[in-house]
Chains A and B, each alone.
Chain A
Amino acid sequence: MVTAQQLVDAILKGDHRAIAKAITHVENNTLEAQKIVSQLYPRTGKAQIIGVTGPGGAGKSTLVEKLIKELRRRGKTVGIVAVDPTSPFSGGAFLGDRIRMQDLSTNEGVFIRSMATRNNPGGLAKATKDAVRILDASGKDVVIVETVGAGQSEVDIIKIAQTVVVVLAPGLGDEIQAIKAGIMEIGDVFVVNKADRENANKAVSDIQAMLELADEKSKWEPAIVKTVAITGEGIDKLWEKIEEHKIYLEKGEASVRQKRIVETELVEAIKQKTAEHIIEALKKNGKLDALVSKILAKEIDPSAAAEKVLTEQIKKQV
């Protein structure tokens, strides 16, 4: 058995086997996982983190493959986390993003990991963020996260990525309408892929029209790029826009975003850990069962029961 420390040392040297093992630890939420992430954390923050999202069938995987090749041409190393959905029925998953990235698996500067959501909502897996940290600490220059086919509620990518690329395709006119409340609000760069098809310009103007309606919150005007991922057309232009966004962020927005992201994560972690702690104790001393019986007997409602738990908890602390 390899220890957490050995994995950390090897990850910092960029060892792919160690990266793979560590990602399995965070996916399975093992005891070692926390140690690994804590030790790597001070070494994170160097990689440029890009999120790629959009509805299923828009061409995300193919686009990512071409983007990786563009980055390799520019001498950058790349880590990829490609997320696909877990079946809510069987708990299994078919992870097929690699099919589009076949010839990259032996490229030394590229590490690709397929990840199932394991029923985590938001378009990512619980472990995605830590997987990104592992790749970041391992020295990859760019880390790309490909979300599941996304629509209105799969917007968690903004909690991870510095630049969010939303990939759409022509013929999604009505869909653009339908998803304007979701992923259309989080794009820093929009891609109209399959731009060799008719209606590509219509898609661009649909996006433009929608963006014009958005609130004037940010000084960054989301860019719209036309690509044909299958031939690689427009990929260089896409990278230029991602770089422009990075430069924009570095002028000040980055630290604001980062602070917001860290704060959200801390709040969520506190909620989760305190809740787990309290619930575990209630299970052990039988109070949880007792409260359930009282609720069933209509002596108390669930919300009031929770309130009671909290009051007792605070008393204990004092």
Chain B
Amino acid sequence: MSKKKIRVLVAKPGLDSHDRGAKVVARALRDAGMEVIYTGLRQTPEQIVETVLQEDVDVLGLSILSGAHMTLFPKIIELMEKKGLNDVLVFAGGIIPEEDILPLKKLGVKEIFGPGTPTDTVVNFVKEHVEKSR
């Protein structure tokens, strides 16, 4: 029996077109032995949630730099709840102001990583949380 792989979706909601950070994180997770699916740029919440469902991922990583996180993240979480995808671990990265962090965490975003976060921190976070929930 093969070991269960951690599957992660790295998604870019909204309209900004900077995906270097998303790609760096995707690569770090891949190098840590995970299967990483990348959506590409400019995804709607509906597209992201349907992809989470079809790919049956354990983790959703959202990367955003546009400032629209307080609109897009709640929408994504709401859609996920509607589809019964509450067991998926959600984390975020990008430019997210201090004062938005607490509200987003209350909403269900488990962790938020700002610029300069070492990739190891993200990898360890994902590993720990997925192993705990299994």
Q: Does chain B have a CB within 8 A of A118?
A: yes
CA distance A159 to B26 in the complex (A): 32
> Given the known A-B contacts A21-B56, A24-B56, A114-B55, are A102 and B40 also in contact in the complex, defined by CB atoms under 8 Å?
yes
Q: Does chain A have a CB within 8 A of B29?
A: yes
Task: Verify B35–A17 contact, CB threshold 8 A.
Answer: no
Query: Count of chain B residues with Cβ under 8 Å from any Cβ of A?
Result: 32
Closest CB in chain B relative to A153 CB, distance in Å: 22
**Docked complex: B51-101 residues within 8 A CB-CB of A:** 51, 53-56, 83-84
CA distance A20 to B55 in the complex (A): 6
Contacts of A116 on B, CB cut-off 8 Å? 5, 35
Contact with A along B2-41 (1 / 0, CB 8 A): 1011010000000000000000001101111111111110
CA distance A87 to B5 in the complex (A): 13
Q: Does chain A have a CB within 8 A of B46?
A: yes
Q: Does chain B have a CB within 8 A of A171?
A: no
Task: Verify B40–A99 contact, CB threshold 8 A.
Answer: yes
Q: Does chain B have a CB within 8 A of A257?
A: no
Partner of B35 from the list A19, A21, A30, A93 (CB cut-off 8 Å) is A93
Contacts of B43 on A, CB cut-off 8 Å? 102
User: What does DSSP make chain A's interface, helix, strand, loop or mixed?
Assistant: mixed
Partner of A113 from the list B34, B55, B83 (CB cut-off 8 Å) is B55
Query: Count of chain A residues with Cβ under 8 Å from any Cβ of B?
Result: 33
User: What does DSSP make chain B's interface, helix, strand, loop or mixed?
Assistant: mixed
CA distance A42 to B84 in the complex (A): 30
Closest CB in chain B relative to A91 CB, distance in Å: 4
Q: Does chain A have a CB within 8 A of B124?
A: no
Task: Verify B40–A94 contact, CB threshold 8 A.
Answer: no
Choose, from A48-56, A103-111, A283-291, the stretch at the interface.
Answer: A103-111
> Given the known A-B contacts A20-B56, A106-B50, are A29 and B2 also in contact in the complex, defined by CB atoms under 8 Å?
yes
> Given the known A-B contacts A29-B1, A29-B2, A106-B50, are A98 and B36 also in contact in the complex, defined by CB atoms under 8 Å?
no
> Given the known A-B contacts A94-B36, A98-B37, A98-B39, are A105 and B47 also in contact in the complex, defined by CB atoms under 8 Å?
yes
Contacts of A106 on B, CB cut-off 8 Å? 44, 46-47, 50
Q: Does chain B have a CB within 8 A of A90?
A: yes
CA distance A24 to B6 in the complex (A): 11
CA distance A96 to B53 in the complex (A): 17
- For residue B40, which residue of chain A has the nearest CB? A99
Task: Verify A113–B31 contact, CB threshold 8 A.
Answer: no
Closest CB in chain A relative to B120 CB, distance in Å: 14
CA distance A24 to B42 in the complex (A): 27
Q: Would you give 25 A-B contacts (Cβ < 8 Å), ordered by A? A: A16-B54, A17-B83, A28-B2, A28-B5, A86-B35, A87-B31, A91-B5, A92-B31, A92-B32, A92-B33, A94-B26, A94-B36, A95-B37, A95-B38, A96-B37, A96-B38, A98-B37, A98-B38, A98-B51, A99-B38, A106-B47, A106-B50, A111-B54, A113-B54, A114-B37
Apart from the given pairs A92-B36, A95-B38, A106-B47, 18 other A-B contacts in the complex at a CB distance below 8 Å: A17-B83, A24-B56, A27-B5, A30-B1, A87-B30, A90-B31, A90-B33, A92-B29, A92-B34, A94-B26, A94-B30, A94-B38, A95-B35, A95-B37, A96-B37, A98-B38, A99-B38, A99-B39
Closest 8 CB pairs of A and B: A99-B40, A92-B30, A20-B56, A91-B33, A95-B37, A24-B56, A92-B33, A105-B47
Q: Which residues of A does B touch, CB under 8 Å?
A: 16-17, 19-21, 23-24, 27-30, 86-87, 90-96, 98-100, 102-103, 105-106, 111-114, 116, 118
